[in-house]
Amino acid sequence: MKYSYYPGCTLRTKAKDLDTYARKSAEVLGFELEEIENWQCCGGVYPLSSDEIATKLSSVRALNEAKVKGQQLVTLCSACYHVLKRVNDDMQNVEDIRVKANNYMKLDEPYMGEAKVLHFLEVLRDEIGFDELKKKVVKPLTGKKIGAYYGCLLLRPGEILGFDNPENPTIIEDFIRALGAEPVIYPYRNECCGGYISLKAKDLSAKMCDNIMDSASGFGADMLITACPLCQYNLTKNSKATVPVYYFTEILAEALGVKGEEE
Amino acid sequence: MNGIGVFVCHCGSNIAATVDVKKVVEMAKLEPGVVHAEEYQYMCSEAGQERIAKAIREKNLSGVVVCSCSPRMHETTFRKCAEKAGLNPYMVEIANLREQCSWVHKDINEGTEKAVILTRAAIAKVSLNTSLVAGESGVTKRALVIGGGIAGIQTALDIADAGYEVDIVEKTPSIGGKMAQLDKTFPTLDCSACILTPKMVDAAAHEKINIYSYSEVEKVSGFVGDFTVDIRKKARYVDMNKCTGCGACMEKCPSKKALSEFNSGLNNRPAIYTPFAQAIPNVPVIDPSQCLKLKNDKCGLCARVCQAGAIDYKQEDEIVTRKYGAIVVATGFEVIKLDNYDEYAYSQSKDVITSLELERIMNAAGPTKGHLERLSDGKAPKNIVFIQCVGSRCADNKGKSYCSKICCMYTAKHAILIRDKYPDVNVTVFYIDVRTPGKNFDEFYRRAVEEYGVNYVKGQVGKVTPEPNGKLTVHGVDLLDNKQLKVEADMVVLAAAIEPSPEVRNIATMLTASIDTNNFITEAHPKLRPVESPTAGVFLSGVCQGPKDIPETVSQAGAAAVKVIGLLAKDKLLTNPCTAKADELLCNGCSACANVCPYGAISYEDKLINDHGIRKTHRVAVVNSALCQGCGACTVACPSGVMDLQGFSNRQIIAEVDAICR
């Protein structure tokens, strides 16, 4: 199976691990991530003002490319997933945005939201299946107590992202179980880390991250995993807690036995 | 034709403000057949009706058009008026100038233009009206009450006390409903069981009341005064006539894994059980999904210990068919499922409970014998937080748009009871508004705040987080202080919204009673006919019509009983003469009409027809006018235009359309 792949800028700079281990794992799992040409930054934030068009165009370009290739568009970063999915929803349902974006893009055929956006985790859950993934695991992470950290961008707004139940998600826990480890369920796993507020009010983000880390370690987590580079940054740089935070793709590659191959 | 009279009502300023009533009168006078037209401020008043009667008598009118409000409001009024003046009541037509014209228009020119057109259509129709005579049908002097909670019990008792037979059909093994599960009742704090169980006993002992417990309504046919109902008596596997209610079987039953429905699933019950000790009838049922004998033919212990020989593993469901003159729906409510409210951690923590679960915990016969304790570790809580409006008053589609009405008061009750019995426990209540209209209700709430020191916080809760130390943190906001709050709690109680019982959809369909978007049964008129459904002979009691507390439910139950008694007291009912009729000469017996008839009123007969001197046998449609409700579906379905609805004939409808398009 071949998917269009949208890495996003952070995965080329700060979050190379998220990208590298995803590609290696995909190879083992038997699917191909075909990076789309000429992708640009998604903007990192979904523009909430309804007359904002320019910042949505990068997403429309990526979505249209996947459509033209007849492939589903896979992404890894929570922010990219969030922005692509919401812009795609706009292109399907908000006539004003659809018309303006298409007028600007002048595509051969107007883009109407036909592409399907998948998070890498959704590929594992819905396309491969966690039971199949379990069979491919060669080094099960037995004995590890791992807390899933979802953050907010993957889950909300729930009715548009449709990723999982925003108040009580299970997908990353199921993923952890498939790799042979034990998921630690703690109530702050879907709370915000502060996101970009970290640039302006570091102490506020620090407080939010401490709540998350304290709750996770209080319930016995040895480590956290996340899909979001910004969450990873805030949790490791802003919190005084010392629980390590990894990208989910890293433990995936480890369990699949392809982590040590690099360099 | 002697001539048509047109009577235009101002309805105070309701019509006259947006419709030039004088102009309508002028224009009506120009219509063919109209010999009289006038306007008056309130045509429905005695003086207004006298004007109509006078014109009928003096001008010998053959048809009357009243331009007023909706026919749902006053058609009957004006028909009676015409009848008294000597005109056939079905020679009256209403032009709806209020709901369908003045109320929806702002511009007087537009309003007047439409009013003139509507009046013209009514005149065109009435000139083709024919005199119709209502038939008569009998009344079966027995009522059916669906649901055996406090609403159903009270309705049944009131009807039975008036001397009429009543059957109660209750789906669970015992009557009593939700009220039986409650510990105390607001605002007097009297024990729920102490005031309910005597009524249950009265109902069971009443010679006119017959209780079908563990039974469900399966099929309803017929019409007001003459309903035929199939009741499914589910297999109890216990012979009602032999069982003495000793309870030995329940004690010995080895299968004890089922969750007790009566205790809100907080503890277990055996496979053979009565829901609670005061159950009526005091005859257990065997739950076939739990019974070892019924599941894999092992055990049989209950049959061995039963001295009366009442256990019968071979018992099967039984269908009883009974006739009724009236049916009362009293199907009650359920607490909503909290699947959409994971932010309150109901599914994640045993110490987050619903208010109904708290009732069972506080009750001496409940799973904790009345001791207030955490379900996770059995420890006594020190801090309890109540969250109001969980799923009520929701702006999004996660919950219900309506106010569940009872939660503010029962939360105040819980807070008072806890503070009274355990004065060292801190109680916090998060609320949107505190709504306490009702006799002695606000005083009760004030007592909670002022005498019992309950901490009421105006604001909503965003999240409840279970903490590693076993406590809960409630993340809320204090709107009056404009502050975010984190409250530590040992227990969180959710005032979950109530919704109509899920069976009500099915029952409403069987009864052709309409339900609203929230599955509450619609009343015939929200103010003036609150206990009647729009379907004749079907009445409403309790929460099936809308959220209600116990006093309100009991009042409405009595009101529904009065309506039923009023119906059953009659020996004959007038039937609606506006029924369908088939033209035998044209009918080719294709069955299109019978296929669409929702009332099963159409059958077919082979008839000898004399068609222009040629005698032949035809299969033709025959309408049973007692069953026909005049919906008109058949008139549309008939490919040859054979079916006509009396009072709304195809010619009349076309004449109206022509008049409008003229």
| Cβ-contact A18, A46 below 8 angstroms | no
Instruction: Give dist(CA B226, CA B217) in Å, integer.
Output: 16
Q: Which of B341, B466, B469 sits opposite A187 (nearest CB)?
A: B466
Contact B467 A165 (CB under 8 A): no
pLDDT at B64: 97
Given a cut of 50, the residues of chain A with pLDDT beneath it are 262-263
| Cβ-contact B129, B63 below 8 angstroms | yes
Measured at the CA of A84, the angle between CA A82 and CA A90, to 5 degrees, comes to: 100
pLDDT in tens, B522-567: 999 899 899 999 888 999 999 999 999 999 999 999 999 999 999 9
Residue of A nearest to B343 (CA): A167
pLDDT band per the 50, 70, 90 thresholds, residue B616? confident
Closest among A154, A90, A150, A156 to A119, alpha carbons compared: A154
CATH of A2-120, one of 1.10.357.10, 1.20.1050.140, 3.40.50.720, 1.20.120.1200: 1.20.1050.140
Instruction: Give dist(CA B72, CA B63) in Å, integer.
Output: 20
Helix axes B21-29, B108-126, angle to 10 degrees: 40
Work out the minimum CA distance from A219 to partner chain B, whole angstroms. 5
Contact B341 A219 (CB under 8 A): no
Interface of B with A (CB under 8 A): 341-343, 345, 347-348, 463-469
Rounded to the nearest 10°, the torsion over CA B42, B43, B45, B50 is 140
Work out the minimum CA distance from A188 to partner chain B, whole angstroms. 7
Q: Which of B348, B465, B467 sits opposite A168 (nearest CB)?
A: B348
Instruction: Give dist(CA A34, CA A52) in Å, integer.
Output: 30
Q: Which of A165, A168, A187 sits opposite B465 (nearest CB)?
A: A187
Contact A168 B342 (CB under 8 A): yes
Q: Which residues contact A135 (CB under 8 A, 6 or more apart)?
A: none
Q: Which of A167, A168, A219 sits opposite B468 (nearest CB)?
A: A219
Residue B80 lies in a domain: yes
Residue of A nearest to B396 (CA): A159
Classify residue B283 as left (phi > 0), alpha (psi -120 to 50) or beta.
beta
Q: Which of A187, A215, A220 sits opposite B345 (nearest CB)?
A: A187
Work out the minimum CA distance from B342 to partner chain A, whole angstroms. 5
Closest among B146, B226, B165 to B540, alpha carbons compared: B146
pLDDT in tens, B479-492: 999 999 999 999 99
Task: Look at chain B and report how many structural domains it folds into.
Answer: 5
Work out the minimum CA distance from A228 to partner chain B, whole angstroms. 22
Contact B466 A165 (CB under 8 A): no
Work out the minimum CA distance from B383 to partner chain A, whole angstroms. 20
Contacts of A219 in chain B (CB under 8 A): 468
pTM of the model: 0.87
Question: CB atoms < 10 A from the CB of A240, how many?
Answer: 9
Q: Which residues contact B190 (CB under 8 A, 6 or more apart)?
A: B184
Q: Point out the domain boundary residue: B482, B499, B516.
A: B499
Instruction: Give dist(CA B410, CA B202) in Å, integer.
Output: 27
Q: Which of A167, A188, A218 sits opposite B342 (nearest CB)?
A: A167
Q: Which residues contact A51 (CB under 8 A, 6 or more apart)?
A: none
How many pairs of residues across A and B have Cβ atoms under 8 Å apart?
Answer: 23
Residue B573 lies in a domain: no
Contact B468 A187 (CB under 8 A): no
B482 and B537 in a single domain? The answer is no
Contact A215 B343 (CB under 8 A): no
First-last CA distance in chain A: 27
Residue with token string 């099915």: B506
| Cβ-contact B281, B211 below 8 angstroms | yes
pLDDT band per the 50, 70, 90 thresholds, residue B411? very high
Q: Point out the domain boundary residue: B499, B525, B550.
A: B499
B539 and B556 in a single domain? The answer is yes
Helices assigned H by DSSP within chain A: 16-29, 54-69, 78-93, 95-105, 120-122, 130-136, 158-161, 171-178, 197-200, 202-218, 229-237, 248-255
Residue boundaries of the structural domains of chain A: 2-120, 135-255
Identify the domain containing residue B592 by its residue range: 580-646
Closest among B180, B162, B153 to B261, alpha carbons compared: B180
Q: Give A158-165 contacts, CB < 8 A, sequence gap 24+.
A: A160/A85, A160/A86, A160/A89, A161/A81, A161/A82, A161/A85, A161/A86, A163/A81, A163/A119, A163/A122, A165/B342
Instruction: Give dist(CA B126, CA B82) in Å, integer.
Output: 14
Distances (CA, A) of B544 to B150, B169, B264, B310, B540: 12, 15, 21, 36, 7
B290 and B377 in a single domain? The answer is no
B430 and B487 in a single domain? The answer is yes
The backbone torsions φ and ψ at residue A110, rounded to the nearest 5 degrees and listed phi first, read -60, 145
Contacts of A215 in chain B (CB under 8 A): 465, 467-468
Instruction: Give dist(CA B334, CA B550) in Å, integer.
Output: 15
Largest CA distance in chain A: 56
Pairing of strands B136-138, B318-324: unpaired
Instruction: Give dist(CA B620, CA B598) in Å, integer.
Output: 19
Residue B323 lies in a domain: yes
Contacts of B468 in chain A (CB under 8 A): 215, 218-220
Residue B655 lies in a domain: no
Q: What tokens were used for B191?
A: 């024990």
Instruction: Give dist(CA B574, CA B135) in Å, integer.
Output: 6
Beta-carbon-side half-sphere exposure of residue B589 (alpha carbons within 13 Å): 9
Residue with token string 């002979």: B537
B350 and B406 in a single domain? The answer is yes
Work out the minimum CA distance from B467 to partner chain A, whole angstroms. 7
Same fold yes or no, A2-120 and A135-255:
no
DSSP state of B579: -
Instruction: Give dist(CA B39, CA B46) in Å, integer.
Output: 15
B70-92 average pLDDT score = 94
Contacts of A187 in chain B (CB under 8 A): 345, 348, 463-466
Closest among B374, B385, B375 to B411, alpha carbons compared: B385
ipTM field: 0.90
pLDDT tops 80 at residue B2: no
Contacts of B466 in chain A (CB under 8 A): 187
B602-609 average pLDDT score = 88
Q: Which of B342, B345, B467 sits opposite A218 (nearest CB)?
A: B467
B365 and B351 in a single domain? The answer is yes
pLDDT at A263: 43
Q: Which of A168, A207, A210 best probes binding to B when mutated, by most B CB atoms within 10 angstroms? A: A168
Work out the minimum CA distance from A187 to partner chain B, whole angstroms. 5
Name the β-bridge partners of B540.
B329
Interface of A with B (CB under 8 A): 165, 167-168, 185, 187-188, 215, 218-220
Question: What percent of chain B lies above the pLDDT cut of 70?
Answer: 100
Name the β-bridge partners of A33.
A3
Closest among B576, B506, B531 to B224, alpha carbons compared: B576
List the CATH number of the domain containing B591: 3.30.70.3270
Contacts of A185 in chain B (CB under 8 A): 348
pLDDT at A208: 96
Work out the minimum CA distance from A64 to partner chain B, whole angstroms. 32
Classify A2 as helix, strand or coil: strand
B185 and B106 in a single domain? The answer is no
Q: Which residues contact A101 (CB under 8 A, 6 or more apart)?
A: A53, A56, A57, A60, A91, A111
Closest among B328, B325, B327, B320 to B231, alpha carbons compared: B320
Q: Which of B337, B338, B340, B467 best probes binding to A when mutated, by most A CB atoms within 10 angstroms? A: B467
Instruction: Give dist(CA B510, CA B528) in Å, integer.
Output: 25
B343 and B462 in a single domain? The answer is yes
Contact B468 A167 (CB under 8 A): no
B280 and B349 in a single domain? The answer is no
Work out the minimum CA distance from A168 to partner chain B, whole angstroms. 6
Residue B373 lies in a domain: yes
Q: Point out the domain boundary residue: B126, B159, B183.
A: B126
Classify B433 as helix, strand or coil: coil
Contacts of A168 in chain B (CB under 8 A): 342, 347-348
Contact B348 A219 (CB under 8 A): no
B354 and B425 in a single domain? The answer is yes
User: Mean pLDDT across chain B, nearest whole number?
Assistant: 95
Q: Which residues contact B213 (CB under 8 A, 6 or more apart)?
A: B148, B170, B172, B173, B174, B175, B280, B281
Work out the minimum CA distance from B622 to partner chain A, whole angstroms. 52
Residue B146 lies in a domain: yes
Contacts of A218 in chain B (CB under 8 A): 467-469
Residue of A nearest to B341 (CA): A167
First-last CA distance in chain B: 22
Name the β-bridge partners of B96.
B68
B560 and B618 in a single domain? The answer is no
Asked if omega into B281 is within 30° of 0 (cis), the reply is yes
Q: Which of A167, A185, A219 sits opposite B343 (nearest CB)?
A: A167
Residue of A nearest to B346 (CA): A168
Q: Which fold has domain A135-255?
A: Rossmann fold (3.40.50)
Contact B467 A188 (CB under 8 A): no
